[in-house]
Copies of this chain bind each other. A is one copy, B any other.
Amino acid sequence: LSEFSIIKTISKIVQSDRLDVRQGIGDDAAILRTPLRSDLVVAMDTLVAGVHFPVLTQPYDVGWKALAVNLSDLAAMGADPSWATLALTLPKPDNTWVAEFARGFVALARQHQLALVGGDTTRGPLTITVQAHGWVKKNKGLLRSGAQVGDGIFVSGTLGDAAAGLCLALGQTKSGCPIKVNSIGVYHRKILLQRLNKPTPRVTLGQELNRVASAAIDVSDGLAQDLGHILQASDVGAVIEVAQLPASVALKRYVSQEQECRHLQLCGGDDYELCFTVSPAKQKHLKTIEKKTGVRITRIGHIVSGHQLMLVDAKGKKMRLPQQGYRHFS
């Protein structure tokens, strides 16, 4: 029975020694011990082949990414990851594919002492749904709804790399791809593809921000859209200084025009950086957090009253939001 051989393959590879797993893979459901004085945080994300990743993506990377996008959601809540469940829909039983997938999944899981505790395997078009569980202290956690007028707006890492990587992965030469595909070197090409296929969820940063940020979200659909969710939930507006948006060396060097670069940074999806707001009084903690986590933090603007997301250039002049694009292949 192929379903059982798939489950066997996965369970062997993902073994974990967390003591809070009373019953993991292999019963009708998992039974999990819960800590005292904590609230449970649950995030669920689906990846569909050809929609959320190119169909030729390596199974190792698909496994990694399926967990990464969920850990990124937990990070944006300031949660400490504990367990995950996996629903894997496969066109045909393919143990080699499944084993590589499981290796990618567990490589990231081990970095965060997370255990895969259950799930389901079914036959159908390649689709992966992961639910990640984590913990925050009772009544703590980073919501989208806490941003206040006057708060600074910050992002981690650099923006736009995954969208540039997507152009490379699809071998786009058609209009719309802003990357100088022919001149980019192996090293930078690899970096951009890695940002697309093996994103790093900012889990430690998210937990550090718990005592500091007033609101947070992860950048999965593009900064403009995701920051928009904070603005809506917090009932505020924002001014973004476009010149401050952090760009990688690869992006700066191999994107033809400055305008194209901004487009990728504002509208490109799949970066999985954190975008968060911090009150003036608490901004002094950010240097320490940057040092402790090794993740670069950049101030990109501030919260204002109203509901608008306003972009300004280095001289404070208003700019137009570029047309949206690059979102999840659509």
Contacts and interface: CB of A to CB of B under 8 A. Distances in A.
A139 to B, nearest CB: 8
Given A29-B41, A43-B28, A48 B122 contact: yes
A53 to B, nearest CB: 12
Interface in A25-70: 26-34, 36, 38-52
Given A29-B77, A40-B31, A76-B29, A46 B129 contact: yes
A146 to B, nearest CB: 11
Interface in A270-294: none
Nearest to A217: B28
A2 to B, nearest CB: 10
B76 A42 contact: no
Contacts of A218: 28
Contacts of A216: 28
Q: Is the interface on chain A under 10, 10 to 19, 20 to 34, or 35 or more residues?
A: 35 or more
A28 B77 contact: yes
Interface in A175-196: none
Contacts of A77: 27-29, 31
Contacts of A79: 29
Contacts of A23: 141, 143
A111 interface: no
A118 interface: yes
The DSSP consensus for interface residues of chain A is strand
Interface string A218-234: 10000000000000010
A39 B29 contact: no
A50 B124 CA distance: 9
Given A39-B22, A51-B123, A125-B124, A131 B30 contact: no
A136 interface: yes
Contacts of A36: 36
Contacts of A22: 39, 139, 141
A226 to B, nearest CB: 9
A85 B85 CA distance: 12
Contacts of A209: none
Contact of A34 (B34, B118, B123): B34
Interface string A120-140: 101111010101111010110
A330 interface: yes
A85 B131 contact: yes
A14 B298 CA distance: 39
Nearest to A141: B31
A41 B23 CA distance: 9
A76 B37 CA distance: 28
A119 interface: yes
11 contacts: A27-B145, A28-B76, A28-B218, A29-B43, A31-B39, A32-B40, A34-B39, A48-B123, A123-B330, A127-B127, A129-B129
Query: Which 3 A-B residue pairs are closest in the complex by CB-CB distance?
Result: A48-B124, A29-B43, A28-B76
